Structure 1
Amino acid sequence: MAKPNYSGTFHMVSQDNMDAYLATLDINFALRKIVCLLKPTKQVEHDPATGGMRIRTMTTFKNFDMDFSLGKEFTEDLGPVDGRVCQTTVDWAGDKLLCVQRGEKEGRGWTHWLEGNLLHLEMRCEGVTAKQVFKKAD
């Protein structure tokens, strides 16, 4: 069975528990407050034939690009997020994209999945979970 194609532009419509998640990443109070006010847009380019993906998260404050091949570990520079570098693997878990980030923080990673025109993102670190939901642009 073919995997879903995640390509598209998505605008955030909701988020939950972001401040606690950012605190777990040791982000300072002032920056956490700014980040919690942002409404990011995600641009996803997904080539199902090659397994290549690019996820670009854009805000009025800072942008973050992630380019990777599904199932292949790579060194991810999370400098724009929390100043860390980790070994990252993104692969399929059913129809979901599961990311594992090995580094200073235990249990760090995220899961993306589609439900209709909604893109869900669950971020995890040291037992704390935050969730964002994005709606696909028309």
Structure 2
Amino acid sequence: MSVNISGTWDMVINVNFDAYMVSLGIDFATRKVAGLLKTQKVIEQDGQFFTMTTVSALRNYKSSFKIGEEFEEVTKGLDNRKCQSQVNWIGDKLVCVQKGEKRDRGWTHWLEGDELYLVLRGGGDRGRWGGAHQLCIIYA
């Protein structure tokens, strides 16, 4: 099921940021600086094609993909790991599975009312969100 999540979304809150970054092996100084940032997410959706840009005062990250097609991704701006990513709709959620050094890594986007949710999985914890290896960001 395809849902239109296009738009410009401003971060409202993040939950479990530091623990998620630790699970990825991000150093202390980088975690502290990154924890102060308020990101903006710009999503452009054209049918099955997406471009997602995360904008912050520190650096920007852009990813383009087609639903169902695997692509190489470098998680530049986070932990700079290479992975093979694939994004699919599962119900009304946009789910990305990333295969690489970290198992069970990826992200999920969905809408609840006027808010865009993003859960990032760093590996090892398959709970809803809030586990040591997961980060939830809410945008409005």
Alignment of 1:30-41 (within 5 A): 30-41=29-40
Displacement, 1:4? 1.2
| Distance in 1 (alpha carbons) for counterparts of 2:119 and 2:77 | 19
- Choose which of 56, 67, 70 in structure 2 pairs with 1:70: 67
Query: What is the percent sequence identity of the aligned residues?
Result: 43
Give the Cα–Cα distance (whole angstroms) in 2 for the partners of residues 80 and 18 of structure 1: 15
Two-structure CA RMSD over aligned residues (Å):
0.9
After TM superposition, give the deviation of residue 80 of structure 1 in Å: 2.3
Match of 2:104 in 1: 107
Moved over 2 A (4+): none
Distance 1:85 1:60 in 2: 24
Structure 1: tracts of 5 or more residues without a match: none
Map of 2:130 onto structure 1: none
- How far 1:40 moved relative to its partner? 0.2
Find the counterpart in structure 1 of residue 27 from structure 2: 28
Contact 2:61 2:76 in 1 (8 A): no
Q: What secondary structure is seen at the aligned counterpart in 1 of 2:59?
A: coil
Equivalent pairs, count:
132
TM-score (norm 1): 0.93
Find the residue that maps to 2:5 and give its secondary structure. coil
Distance 1:44 1:32 in 2: 25
Note the C-alpha offset of 1:89.
Answer: 0.3
SS at match of 1:35: helix
Structure 2 unaligned segments of length 5 or more: list them.
126-132
The alignment's TM-score, normalised by the length of structure 2, stands at 0.91
Alignment-derived partner of residue 133 in structure 1: 138
Q: 1:82 aligns with which of 79, 82, 101?
A: 79
